[in-house]
């Protein structure tokens, strides 16, 4: 029982961390707020966001393999596959902003120039899409935990 509880806590802390740091990216990535300090901060925030995503995946897999219901039950559930598919989609969407934040930092170091307003807005749009999709993770998890739409 303690293992199950610990895994659940780890999983929830990972999702909450993910939400906090994608929200921070969305808040910082604004044309009117972007300056040299914010470019550097976005790089750090994005790194923590990535670490939280890895922790979320690891804790979820640990729950599936070591949890009380067993891996056979979890892997037979369409909701788990939906969660994993959504996780992959969000991960793929996060690649471009991550590379963009790194490029902005290199450009800032090399030339001292900030990105153009259109590029900031386009990057923020991708971050916002991720932020909204991430909200579905705990909904699917709660449904799965309570046997809604399970086999």
Q: How does pLDDT run across 1-56, given as a tens digit for each residue? A: 899 999 999 999 999 999 999 999 999 999 999 999 999 999 999 999 999 999 99
Closest CA to 125 of 29, 9, 3, 39: 29
Rounded CA separation 9/63 (Å): 10
Residues 131, 23: contact at Cβ < 8 Å? Answer: yes
Summarize the confidence of residues 87-106 as an average pLDDT: 98
Residues 136, 86: contact at Cβ < 8 Å? Answer: yes
Task: Find the Cα–Cα–Cα–Cα dihedral 145, 129, 21, 47, rounded to 10°.
Answer: 110
Domain boundaries, the chain: 2-145
pLDDT surpasses 90 at 90: yes
pLDDT for 46 = 98
pLDDT for 51 = 98
Write down the pTM of the prediction. 0.94
Q: How does pLDDT run across 111-145, given as a tens digit for each residue? A: 999 999 999 999 999 999 999 999 999 999 999 98
Summarize the confidence of residues 61-82 as an average pLDDT: 93
């Amino acid at each position: 029982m303690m293992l199950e509880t610990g895994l659940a806590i780890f999983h929830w802390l990972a999702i909450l961390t993910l939400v906090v740091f994608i929200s921070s990216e969305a808040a910082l990535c604004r044309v009117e707020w972007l300056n040299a300090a914010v470019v550097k901060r976005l790089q750090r925030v994005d790194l923590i966001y990535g670490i939280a995503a890895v922790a979320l995946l690891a804790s979820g897999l640990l729950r599936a393999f070591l949890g009380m219901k067993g891996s056979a039950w979890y892997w037979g559930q369409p909701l788990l596959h939906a969660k994993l598919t959504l996780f992959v989609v969000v991960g793929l969407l996060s690649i471009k902003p991550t590379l963009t934040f790194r490029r902005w930092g290199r450009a800032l170091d090399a030339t001292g120039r900030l990105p153009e307003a259109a590029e900031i807005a386009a990057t923020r749009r991708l971050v916002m899409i991720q932020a909204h999709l991430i909200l579905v993770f705990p909904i699917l998890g709660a449904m799965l935990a309570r046997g809604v739409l399970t086999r």
